[in-house]
C-alpha cells in the first residue's frame, strides 16, 4: 500500500531542481521583465506632480487628483499576488487567492517562470537560493494519507526534488498542524559534482490540492541563509478557497 501511495504522490509532480542549478558566468535569467511596485509608481507620480506646480492652481488640482488616485493604487497593490509585508522586515509576502496559499520570501529575490512550477522566486546572483511552489490536484484529504513524514520526504527527495544522479541525504523530518491542517516539513541535502544544495521543504493538502514549497541555498552559504530559509518555510500557509 505504501508503494502505491508513493507512486500517486509523485505522479504528475513537476521537477525543476536542475533548473535552479548555477548558470554559466554572465548568464542571468530574470524570467520576467521587472516593473516597479505600484506604491513606488505612486510616489513617482506624487513627485512629478509636486514639481509641476503652476501659479494658476493647476498643480494644486493635479495634486488633489493624485491623493484620490494613490489610495486606489495602494488597494490594487494589496489585492495583487505580491505585496510588501508590514510585519516582517526584509521579506515580501505572496498571497495567491486563487489557489489558496501564502508565504514570505527574502527581499531582493526576483520572480522567474519555470514550466511546471506554480511560483518561483530566486536570487539571480546565487541561483540555488530560491523558493518554489507546486500545486497539483489530489483525491487525498490529508498528507498523512501518503504515509509518515520520513517516508514522504524520502520519496520526494529521491523522485522529485533532486536529479537521480545526485547523492541525497534526508537530515530531518517533522509534522506540525496549523488551523487544523497537517504539514510535513523536512531538511535535506543533494550533492552534485560541482555544488551541494541544502534545502527545506514543506508539504500539505487542502482544497483538493497537494501543495509543496521548497527553498534552499548552496551548502557554502547555508550558515548565512538558514534562518532566512526557515522563515520562508515557517511562513507557508494554506487557506480555504
How many domains is the chain built from?
Answer: 2
3-class secondary structure for 159-208? HHHCCCCCEEEEEEEEEEEECCEEEEEEEEEEECCCCEEEEEEEEEEECC
Output 83-91 pairs: Cβ under 8 A, ≥24 positions apart: 83/37, 84/37, 84/39, 88/231, 88/235, 90/228, 91/231, 91/235
Q: Is residue 31 part of a domain?
A: no
Euclidean distance between CA atoms 10 and 187, whole angstroms = 18
Assess whether 118 and 224 both reside in one domain: yes
What is the domain extent for residue 171? 2-24+81-238
Residue 87's pLDDT is 55
Largest CA distance in the chain: 81
Q: Which pTM was predicted?
A: 0.71
- Taking phi first (over 0 means left), then psi (-120 to 50 degrees means alpha), and beta for anything else, what does residue 111 get? beta
Instruction: Look at residue 39 and tell me whether its pLDDT is greater than 70.
Output: no
Segment 92-115 mean pLDDT: 96
| CATH number for position 101 | 3.40.1000.10
Assess whether 214 and 127 both reside in one domain: yes
Q: Which of 16, 49, 79 represents a domain boundary (last residue)? A: 79
167-188 pLDDT per residue, tens? 999 999 999 999 999 999 999 9
Euclidean distance between CA atoms 116 and 19, whole angstroms = 11
Locate 122 and state its grid cell. Answer: 530566486
Average pLDDT, the chain: 77
Q: Is residue 33 part of a domain?
A: no
Segment 64-90 mean pLDDT: 47
Assess whether 218 and 185 both reside in one domain: yes
Instruction: Look at residue 24 and tell me whether its pLDDT is greater than 70.
Output: no
Residue 204's pLDDT is 98
Instruction: Look at residue 160 and tell me whether its pLDDT is greater than 70.
Output: yes
% of the chain at pLDDT higher than 70: 64
115-128 pLDDT per residue, tens? 989 999 999 999 99
Assess whether 49 and 150 both reside in one domain: no
DSSP reduced 3-state for 6: helix
DSSP-derived secondary structure letter, 124: S
Between vectors from CA 154 to CA 149 and to CA 160, what angle results, nearest 5°? Answer: 115
Residue 88's pLDDT is 83
Amino acid at each position: 500500500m505504501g508503494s502505491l501511495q508513493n507512486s500517486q504522490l509523485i505522479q504528475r509532480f513537476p521537477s525543476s531542481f536542475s533548473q535552479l542549478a548555477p548558470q554559466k558566468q554572465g548568464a542571468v535569467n530574470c524570467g520576467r521583465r521587472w516593473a516597479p511596485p505600484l506604491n513606488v509608481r505612486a510616489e513617482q507620480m506624487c513627485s512629478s506632480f509636486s514639481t509641476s506646480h503652476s501659479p494658476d492652481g493647476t498643480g494644486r488640482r493635479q495634486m488633489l487628483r493624485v491623493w484620490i488616485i494613490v489610495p486606489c493604487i495602494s488597494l490594487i497593490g494589496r489585492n495583487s499576488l505580491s505585496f510588501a509585508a508590514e510585519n516582517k522586515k526584509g521579506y515580501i509576502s505572496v498571497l495567491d487567492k486563487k489557489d489558496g496559499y501564502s508565504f514570505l520570501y527574502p527581499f531582493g529575490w526576483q520572480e522567474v517562470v519555470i514550466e511546471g512550477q506554480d511560483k518561483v522566486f530566486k536570487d539571480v546572483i546565487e541561483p540555488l537560493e530560491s523558493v518554489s511552489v507546486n500545486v497539483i490536484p489530489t483525491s487525498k484529504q490529508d498528507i498523512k494519507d501518503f504515509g509518515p513524514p520520513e517516508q514522504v520526504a524520502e520519496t520526494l527527495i529521491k523522485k522529485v526534488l533532486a536529479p537521480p544522479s545526485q547523492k541525497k541525504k534526508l537530515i530531518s523530518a517533522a509534522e506540525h498542524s496549523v488551523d487544523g491542517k497537517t504539514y510535513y516539513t523536512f531538511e535535506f541535502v543533494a550533492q552534485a559534482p560541482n555544488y551541494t544544495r541544502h534545502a527545506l521543504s514543506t508539504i500539505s493538502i487542502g482544497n483538493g490540492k497537494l501543495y509543496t514549497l521548497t527553498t534552499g541555498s548552496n551548502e557554502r552559504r547555508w550558515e548565512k541563509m538558514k534562518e532566512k530559509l526557515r522563515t520562508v518555510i515557517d511562513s507557508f500557509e494554506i487557506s480555504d478557497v
